[in-house]
Structure 1
Amino acid sequence: MDLDSFVGKRILVIGDVMLDKYIVGTVNRISPEAPVQVVDVKSEKYIPRGAANVASNVASLGGIPVLVSMIGDDVIGKHLSSEIKDNGVTIDGLIIDKNCATIQKVRIIAHQQQLVRIDYEQLSKIDVKVLIDKLSNIIVQADIILVSDAKNYIIQAIEAKSLLNARCGITY
């Protein structure tokens, strides 16, 4: 498939989503409280990752991405859904779960060197019925299905045969 034939295709993107936060600054001293570097923050930026990044890339190439994933009912989830919507991604397939936290990875960088990464991951068992119901309503309209597996929870909840059954009526 060349890029021209990709334009205007409805592309279902299924997988785990997360929001990466980059804190960039400089280090000029050591903390008096502990022998650690003190980062003077100069900037912060947020980037959707995982299936959210894949869906954003689909939009930038002229496809019509529809993202199916799960986020928490939290500030990070709202920020992530806003970022991906701004990137031209349809977010009707996002499942908002009040019992989980949206995955976030925070990287602290100084002088072009990553000093530390902090992961916020409260993995929750996704309700397979809710996911399959969401997929059933969307998958039949998809020209292409992309699966982005970050090995967190979405893909563990379903199997490829469930996707084929929902899309093509194929059962095993």
Structure 2
Amino acid sequence: MRSLFNSFKDLSILIIGDVMMDAYLFGKVDRVSPEAPVPIVSVGKKEARLGGAANVALNIKALGAKPIICAIVGDDIEGRQLLDLFSAADIDATSLVKIVGRKTTVKTRVIAQNQQILRVDAETDTEINIEESNLVLNKFRLILERQKIDAIIFQDYDKGLITPYLIDEVSKSAKANNIPLIVDPKKRNFLSYKDVDVFKPNLKELKEGLKVDFDPKNYLELKNNTTLLKEKIKAKNILLTLSELGIYAINDKEDKLTPAHIRTIADVSGAGDTVISVVATCIAARTDIFLAARLGNLAGGLVCEKVGVVPINKDLLLQEALKAEEA
């Protein structure tokens, strides 16, 4: 396990996905507003953090690998703030494309007494056009020409960057260069990803994507519906996250459910970002899907113990992984 974690430092992982800024207002609630039946939050602290696909990049950096981000931002104040956050985190964001007139996605969370009480989203989720897609693809191809990439992540939040055209072009290049392609999908393009190495939906996304309903506690139903998805998109591996039930992984030969560890959950925000980051880094290091699933499952649980979107702590994850091996 230690040698696997040490190998992460030699890996470069490219993330193509919807970047956003996570803004936080931390405060306390002492009274209810006289204007409406809502709490009044007295703000004590404000924060801005990298979110969405940018949080995936943060997690990959925290694991010791090198993240490279290929995405779009708006040509606005929030876009400039996002670039500053990338710079402060020492993450390569030279392949970000500024789209004039587009709004940068910002999720503002109001947190009081360690609980999220409100989220306000400011965003544009219109799909980018062919010309804008080609600007992104030009950046992507330059990255492949200039450096070795060990894995590519599609981090899709349905915010408009990822289109069927972009998926097809990136997939062709990944295949031609023998680079594993790992997908964290959303609803809009759910069935557009074909022949990828790892496809990681959550239960809600799988049900909506296949238009099915089933009880995930029924193992046969779980297996049959995940197999149906696998066959439909011809993925090598499916990794289905099941919240408190854990993670279910399946490939051509076997399947396995890794139960979730009992945790004190403070905030589930960003847990999916952490899971895909750990899974992709493991796949880049050429581990099998079941070890990647176990480590992703551990990591997702660990970040849920923290308030707000935070990256994984590599040393803590290693300690937990070693403990799990001994159990």
Per the TM alignment, residue 32 of structure 1 is displaced from its structure 2 partner at its CA by: 3.3
Q: Which residue of 1 aligns with 2:195?
A: none
1:38 and 2:45 matched:
no
Give the conservation status (yes or no) of the 8 Å contact 2:18–2:155. yes
Q: Which residue of 1 aligns with 2:71?
A: 69
Per the TM alignment, residue 31 of structure 1 is displaced from its structure 2 partner at its CA by: 2.7
Higher strand share: 1
Among residues 137, 140, 143, which one is paired with 2:142 in the alignment? 137
Structure 1 residues 31-53: Cα deviation after superposition (integer angstroms, max 9, x where no partner):
33333322110111222111101
* Secondary structure of residue in 2 paired with 1:33: coil
Counterpart of 1:17, as a letter, is V
Give the conservation status (yes or no) of the 8 Å contact 1:19–1:104. yes
1:128 and 2:130 matched:
no
Structure 1 residues 49-103: Cα deviation after superposition (integer angstroms, max 9, x where no partner):
1110111122222222110011111121111121122222101110111221110
TM-score by length of 2: 0.48
Gaps of 5+ in 2: 179-327
Gaps of 5+ in 1: none
Counterpart of 2:143, as a letter, is I
Among residues 101, 111, 114, which one is paired with 1:112 in the alignment? 114
Query: Residues of 1 paired with 2:10 and 2:85: CA distance?
Result: 21
Runs of 4+ deviating beyond 6 Å: none
Q: Which residue of 2 aligns with 1:14?
A: 16
* Secondary structure of residue in 1 paired with 2:10: coil
Q: Could you tell which deviates more after superposition, 141-150 or 67-76?
A: 141-150
Give the conservation status (yes or no) of the 8 Å contact 2:110–2:118. yes
Per the TM alignment, residue 29 of structure 1 is displaced from its structure 2 partner at its CA by: 2.3
Per the TM alignment, residue 160 of structure 1 is displaced from its structure 2 partner at its CA by: 3.7
TM-score by length of 1: 0.87
Count the aligned residue pairs: 170
Q: Which residue of 1 aligns with 2:160?
A: 153
Q: Which residue of 2 aligns with 1:47?
A: 49
Higher helix share: 2
Report sequence identity in percent: 33
Distance 1:66 1:158, change over 3 A: farther
Query: Residues of 2 paired with 1:60 and 1:101: CA distance?
Result: 28
Give the conservation status (yes or no) of the 8 Å contact 2:17–2:157. yes
* Root mean square deviation of aligned Cα: 2.1
Query: Residues of 2 paired with 1:35 and 1:51: CA distance?
Result: 36
